[in-house]
Amino acid sequence: MTDHTYTPPKVWQPSENGGQFANINRPTAGARFERELPQGEHAFQLYSLATPNGVKATVMFEELLEAGYADAEYDAWLINISESDQFSSGFTALNPNGKIPALLDRSGEREVRVFESGAILLHLAEKFGAFLPTDHTRAEVLSWLFWQVGSAPFIGGGFGHFYAYAPEKYRYPIDRYAMETKRLFDVADQRLAEGRYLGGDDYTIADIAAAPWMIPFTEGTIYNEAKNFLAIDEYENVARWAKEIAARPAFKRGRLVNKSWGEESEQLRERHSPADFAGKL
């Protein structure tokens, strides 16, 4: 076994360590170049990419439209993180954290910026009065929403990075984050043994938040052989829930928006009207 022993220096300094996303990673924030963001005709302007966090926002918009909220029409603009689009002056003005998704809400008297996927879901749920209960179950839904928000870094930046993207394979971090990812699936599986959805009897923003992360594991479409490596099939209640949500028309549409890879029929780099889905589904 290769000796990967590392003694941290007294003061850390960044190094060129390779990896799939090494070219965009820096220990500083802020704009790296000047570029304004495009804007369309709708009240809501979304800037995103079809990663699990980005899919949360597009699914939410599509679910609102599916439910009859015509005022939820939106323009979705592609932010290609591999090309550092997220570090433009326009994007960092909308999201100082430089991460997708980010939303400009022009529906009120003044423009409002919303960044972080969980905040976007909560903002839209409250604005439209949808997918978030107002009775005693509200706290349960919000608890599961923030459970997902808090757990995503362990799955993505933790397990996903060290298992699929790191330039070298280290057993300790892979074991550490594999254990945590399986624990999180077990949390969800036990919860879904109690009811149809994470928040209770109704489909809510808790499910919209969790599904884009968990469904790809059940399908085997994320992080190479992660489905087999983590024995995802053993989480039968998650599988039942994932299959149901993946079949929703709005979820199918939301997964395509701001997707710029794969088969042409499975991607939609920008979305400006329902007509953009023609021939895609």
Query: Within 13 A of 128's CA, how many CA atoms are on the CB side?
Result: 26
Residues 159 and 127 in one domain: no
The band of 1, judged by pLDDT with boundaries at 50, 70 and 90, is very low
Neighbour tally for 223: CB within 10 Å: 20
Residues 213 and 271 in one domain: no
Q: List, for residues 148-196, the tens digit of each pLDDT value.
A: 999 999 999 999 999 999 999 999 999 999 999 999 999 999 999 999 9
More confident: 166 or 5 = 166
Residues 60 and 100 in one domain: yes
Residues 22 and 71 in one domain: yes
Give me the residue label for tokens 């077990």: 186
Residues 97 and 32 in one domain: yes
Token pair in block for residue 210: 């969790």
What are the CA-CA distances from residue 103 to residues 92, 106, 112, 254, 266 (Å)?
A: 12, 10, 8, 15, 23
* pLDDT, average across residues 74-101: 97
At 198, which CATH number? 1.20.1050.10
At 30, which CATH number? 3.40.30.10
Q: Is the pLDDT of residue 25 over 90?
A: no
Residues 18 and 52 in one domain: yes
Averaged confidence pLDDT in the chain: 95
Would you say 25 and 82 are in contact if contact means Cβ atoms under 8 Å apart? no
Domain, as residue range, for 79 = 1-131+256-281
Q: Is the pLDDT of residue 3 over 60?
A: no
Phi-psi map region of 95: left, alpha, beta (phi>0 left; psi -120 to 50 alpha)? beta
Residues 44 and 157 in one domain: no
Longest Cα–Cα distance of the chain, Å, equals 62
Residues 104 and 148 in one domain: no
What pTM does this model have?
0.96
Q: Name the domain count of the chain.
A: 2
